[in-house]
Structure 1
Amino acid sequence: MSTQNISAFDKNLLGDDIQKLSERLEKFIAVEHQFVDGSLVISLNAKYGAGKTAFLDMWKSSFDNEDELKSKIHEFSEKPLIVLLNAWESDYMGDPLFAVVSALVDSLGKNDNENKTKLIEAAKDLGWFMTSLGTQFMESALGASPKIAANDAMNKNDERNNENILNHDSFSLYQHRKVAMAHLKDVITSLVNDTSKPSIIFMVDELDRCRPDYAIAYLETIKHIFDIKGIVFLLAVDRSQLENSARTTFGKDLEFSEYYRKFVHREINLPVITSLSCKKLVDEYVNKYIKGNGTRYSVMGFDDTTKNRIAGLIEVFNLTPRQVQEIFRILGHIGETTSNDNRHLEWCVVTGTILLLVLRVRNQRFYQTLGTGQLEPNDVYELFEGLSMNNSDYWWFKLCLTGKGLKIINKDRPYKAIIKLLNLPLDEMAFESSLIKFVQGWGSGPNSNFHGIYKHIENLDQWTSGSIYNQ
């Protein structure tokens, strides 16, 4: 199970704050949609891989769950129509208007053929006048070829306006386009039976992954066509990426916050992953990628102490679930072995591998310098300030020191020069004595250090032999 295919709040790995956010959102929407002139637009902000898609899937599922609806119709007097869209999937198709309309048609009930027909016919009428409309999307989404749609559109507009236009010049086409667009908006408005409550909620995902011009066109479409009271848009985006799209389109001097405010009434942030959620993710991914749900064998052992250290790294480095997933996929591969191999990697090798993979997705500079034994002493504090660097343990510092990840500045006792340089309040004799278990924990093989781990990761290699095992 990954965060991408979690579809229920009671099974999610992202923490209770996610479900609480959905409840707060419902209360907010139920009230605030009354205080905007048209549609209510909310921006749900989080970086790539943080769980936005999982949240949308879980929230939509909560509306589809009949048992939950019987016990609690959420915050709404009756269930709204939920339309879930992936904007990136329609990026190559042309105009976003038809992608949204198509999703709306698909979301209408099986027996709602009348409204489906009205929507499709109105979209076909407009289709010919939208010069950016592509043949492929017209045929796949609306079920008509452009030539047929063009003839139908012109004939129906002539009939609707009781006109017999012989020469469809540019101005006439513009006028007809306005009429067709207004008609489509009227049809969409007719789906909102009661403007006193949210009738349609569009959940839009992956808008920040779209081409800049398409992403901006999507926002403009929401503003101009779907600005209808009773409609709600929830845009799940990486705000910084969407800002880059806007600046690409309008120039680097664009004041994005003011520009975005034209479309969005409220911005909120997806809750950050909690300590408990980090542990849930680790348990889930150890079972899936290391143990293969009972189908995989690994030379990497994961006791509770190791799991807790991984969870601590996830929290300190603020990793997204997608980043954690990538780390465990790599761990699963390089540690895979056969069923009759009872060896296990030394515990320092396992933990050192995890630390390097965390840095690989979070800080490439530290990943390369630690992995090649060239981490500068001056960088030590920056790297470990969130990892117990300020208490008497110095656990991660000791791991890197004994794993030969730090640049040597004193061949006899490198740690002494580093301790002096960083002005660490340590008892040198006690500190040196505590390093013994770490030295033993690395093993004695030539690859029993960060450089050996680094080569395995970079070379798509697996541990199959050597003296870095705990026999």
Structure 2
Amino acid sequence: MTSININKFAEALKDPKDSYACKQDKVHSLISKCIDIFTKNDQRLIIFIDELDRCKPSFAVKLLEQIKHYFLIENVTFVISTNIEELSKTICKFYGINFKGNKYLTRFFDLSLRLSKIDSNTYYSSLASHNQSYIFENYKRDVINFFNMSMRSIGRYVINNELIDYSKFKNDFYVWDSATSGICSNIEWLIISFIIGLRTTNKELEYSLIHGNELKIFTEFVLSSETFWGIFRFDNKQNKMKELCDIDKEKRFGDCKEKIIKVIYDKCFVNQINENEGLNEAGEFWHEIKNQINKSLYL
């Protein structure tokens, strides 16, 4: 294929003697030359422009106005991937709030195709390594759904989870019964997956949460987590959870959810545990969870 020296062309554009119109002619001349090369033998040149809605309003408008000169060339197709609603708002920021951005954009797009909304669980499954407990994977899906993560956010969430050293999840389960050890693991997985979700979507909220100032969003998430409440299908785990949270065993478990969440949050992020004091079973339980969270997330 014949090559074009872009550097020489760029230097030519710097000539101070050239008028704006002259420079524009040079640009169009180069582009026309490129198109001729790429469309030899009836080949089609497809030019992709991605995320135009994320550009500065002045740049987005200028780009659209420039490329429209090439729309009628037979073997050239432009494919613009964009959030059309956001691009319309971008146009309005340039021309004024009362400007009809959507109508303006119809000048440029002959055919518009809308992509269907992704299934977040399917997309997550295509990225995740699947080398963790299926229950922990379910907690991560709960987080993705709670934050209604975009594809980009799901990708970052997967990467942030890969940075966690899961080999540090080593509880002294031999000192507890199966109900206690199971609850312990699930609270750790619940909290760690949620903190990583905040780290992915809103670092300020993450900082606020671990310093004891975000009970509200923590409560909303835990209440929405089917995975967490699913472990309390049996009476023995319900009674153990009420015991660990110092809740009257006679109370109906479904009525204790917000109280349980507040105890979890306070024990992990608000209250200080004095290791020098003697700890009962509940004290050791919360101390173990707090240590595991700190070690896993380097808080």
* CA apart distance, 1:316: 4.7
Q: 1:262 corresponds to which residue? A: 107
* CA apart distance, 1:223: 1.0
Alignment deviations for residues 334-391 of structure 1 (CA, whole Å, 9 cap, x no partner): 5366xxx6825833112211023224444678757765265349x95x65675449xx
Separation in 1 of the partners of 2:118 and 2:134?
23
* 1:306 aligns with one of 136, 151, 168: 136
Query: Residue type of the partner of 2:127?
Result: L
Q: Within the alignment, does 1:317 sit opposite 2:156 as a pair?
A: no
Q: 1:125 corresponds to which residue? A: none
Q: 1:407 corresponds to which residue? A: none
Query: Residue type of the partner of 1:268?
Result: R
Query: Residue type of the partner of 2:215?
Result: L
Q: Within the alignment, does 1:215 sit opposite 2:60 as a pair?
A: yes
Query: Residue type of the partner of 2:289?
Result: S
Change (3 A) 1:414 1:209: farther
Name the % identity: 16
* 1:375 aligns with one of 192, 208, 215: 215
Which structure has greater helix proportion?
A: 2
* CA apart distance, 1:257: 1.5
* TM-score, length basis structure 2: 0.59
Q: 2:180 corresponds to which residue? A: none
* 1:448 aligns with one of 283, 289, 294: 289
Q: Within the alignment, does 1:280 sit opposite 2:133 as a pair?
A: no
Alignment deviations for residues 56-95 of structure 1 (CA, whole Å, 9 cap, x no partner): xxxxxxxxxxxxxxxxxxxxxxxxxxxxxxxxxxxxxxxx
* 1:146 aligns with one of 3, 7, 11: 11
Change (3 A) 1:220 1:356: same
Query: Residue type of the partner of 1:254?
Result: F
Separation in 1 of the partners of 2:125 and 2:298?
28
Give runs of aligned pairs for residues 175-186 of structure 1, distance below 5 A: 180=26, 183-184=29-30, 186=32
Query: Residue type of the partner of 1:277?
Result: Y
Unaligned runs of 5+ in 1: 1-111, 121-140, 152-167, 288-301, 404-410, 417-426, 463-471
Change (3 A) 1:260 1:305: same
* 2:252 aligns with one of 428, 436, 457: 428
Q: Within the alignment, does 1:350 sit opposite 2:189 as a pair?
A: yes
CA contact 1:279–1:307 (8 Å) conserved in 2: no
CA contact 1:366–1:375 (8 Å) conserved in 2: no
Change (3 A) 1:328 1:194: closer
- Which structure carries more relative contact order (alpha carbon 8 Å, separation 6+)? 1
Count the aligned residue pairs: 255
Give runs of aligned pairs for residues 20-419 of structure 1, distance below 5 A: 112-113=1-2, 116-117=3-4, 141-144=6-9, 146=11, 150=15, 174=21, 180=26, 183-184=29-30, 186-187=32-33, 190=36, 191-192=38-39, 199-239=44-84, 242-243=87-88, 245-265=90-110, 266-269=112-115, 271-282=117-128, 284=129, 302-333=132-163, 335=165, 343-344=170-171, 346-362=185-201, 371=210, 372=212, 374-376=214-216, 380=219, 383=221, 387-388=225-226, 394-395=229-230, 413=247
CA contact 2:169–2:292 (8 Å) conserved in 1: no
Separation in 2 of the partners of 1:145 and 1:369?
49
Unaligned runs of 5+ in 2: 172-183, 234-239, 265-280
Change (3 A) 1:251 1:349: same
